[in-house]
Structure 1
């Protein structure tokens, strides 16, 4: 038996098999869940191909979290495969690396900042709102962040977007708690994902973890983060919401 036996889980935002979303889908299946994954646009074809690499090939839904029509039809698409959802994973973020990252904070143009905020932060509330009708008896929403309590080299406007995501999670937790729906985030250390490769100077962040994380840190291993997400999706955290769980080798707790 697994900790997600019988659970129906949507992992939104799976692109490459190096992503945290993919690792989460894999661990969730290994723990007994029925998993659906989503993506949109040109990346949808990639998602459909990499879905075959999971232990059980899951349904792939088209979902652009910035498109109100996509959000409105999501319950119908989900019900083509399962009769509801017990968990939702928000593995979605975007910031234009040419204008918002790598030392471009003071010059970041508002249209690109607005897009980053909508995709990376507001979309947590959008996704929660769309999935709420599918979570009749309650459930768990889990998002992914990168510690937004400090200013990081190179991360710039994505750091601001993650701060928005972290605040958004607390408000989703407040408003959906009465419906039995929990909302938490997992704050992972730097991982070699497609998103990380797009950040100019991200190697500087990675180098910090090698000397300061007391448990050590493997930037190529998404499994510890995926396991934390799955734990929060399970029934083992029934009274935890609005929380941020750090999976970073302990880096966040060290002063120097």
Structure 2
């Protein structure tokens, strides 16, 4: 029996074979889960192509987390492929270039608002949209990058991640009585599409391997994906509002 045997999992953010979300979907299938993916717009075709590289090609449903129509229709669209969900993976993040790369003091509200909506508020929006299909024992897992620090060039995305982490705690509070958990995995720098779109990303990843007691490979998304898969399982039945660090141990070290 696999860790997720018989479970139904919704995974967002599968765009490339190197993405964390791709490896979460792969591991979930290998551990016995039925997976449904989401995508939208020009990314939809990319998701279709990458989905064929999974052990079992999963269905894909339309979801733009900034679209109230898509959010309202999510349960119905997913319901065409499964009658319930046991887990939801939030792997969504975006910030305009105008709020990244040493532009903290010059960023305008319209661009900041976009970063906050897509990268933080979307966790609540996705959770609420998924609720009609989720019951007791359900698990929501999101991906963050440690918001305890002011990182170089991360700027307003760092602020969005702080809001994201707080959102997870409030979801844990409000969904706990329904038996639904909400946790995050804080990953070290991984060369995903989102990460490499940040100007100067190398200033964040540089030296991470040397500072990590366990070492760190920026090209390997699997350790993070394994943590997400574990949190989706029944092995953490009393854990919610938590942030699990998968960063080689850097978060625990001094400067």
1:170 matched to 2:138? The reply is no
What TM-score do you get using the length of structure 2 for normalisation?
0.99
Q: 1:136 is paired with a residue of what secondary structure?
A: strand
Q: Deviations over 1:191-237 (max 9, x none)?
A: 01111111111111111312100000001110000000000000000
Q: How many residues are matched?
A: 255
State the secondary structure of the residue aligned to 1:184. strand
The answer to whether 1:184 aligns with 2:187 is no
TM-score normalised to structure 1 length: 0.98
**1:43-192 matches, cutoff 5 A:** 43-97=43-97, 99-192=98-191
Name 1:250's counterpart in structure 2: 249
1:14, distance to aligned residue in structure 2 (A): 1.6
1:39 aligned residue = 39
Measured in 1, the distance between the counterparts of 2:207 and 2:235 equals 32
Output the CA distance in 1 between the equivalents of 2:205 and 2:163.
Answer: 23
Deviates more, 1:182-191 or 1:9-18: 9-18
Deviation for aligned residue 1:13: 1.9
Distance 1:150 1:136 in 2: 35
User: 1:228 — aligned with what?
Assistant: 227
Structure 1: distance between partners of 2:183 and 2:220: 22
Partner of 1:5: 5
Runs of at least 5 residues in structure 2 that lack an aligned partner in the other structure: none
- Separation in structure 2 between the aligned mates of residue 195 and residue 126 of structure 1, nearest angstrom: 20
Deviation at 1:105, TM superposition (A): 0.6
